[in-house]
Amino acid sequence: MLMTLQRVLEESAPVLVAARLEAEERTTNMRLREEQDAAYRAALEADQVCLCFFFLFLLEHLVYIMLVLLVRCDGPFLFAWW
């Protein structure tokens, strides 16, 4: 019986090794995918922050330009064409 178990183990060894390698590869691929997803989310968040700051910058300058035009045109008559 011991010899039978030894023979089965020897015959199964390549299959078991292959299954272990495939499981390790799946785990590695899953970890890599998670790291890539995290990097993508971080880059997306950084882009959104930059975009918010850019729009705030534009808004500040637009308000400044409107105030300058109001002062130069002596009041709200600038907006009469709206």
Work out the percent of the chain whose per-residue pLDDT is above 70. 89
C-alpha to C-alpha distance for 14 and 23, rounded to whole angstroms:
14
Q: Is 4 helix (H, G, I), strand (E, B) or coil?
A: helix
Structure-token match 């790291």, residue found: 35
Residue type, 6: Q
In this prediction the pTM is: 0.59
For residue range 63-81, what is the model confidence (pLDDT) as tens digits?
998 888 777 776 555 555 5
Question: For residue 76, what is the enclosing H or E element?
Answer: none
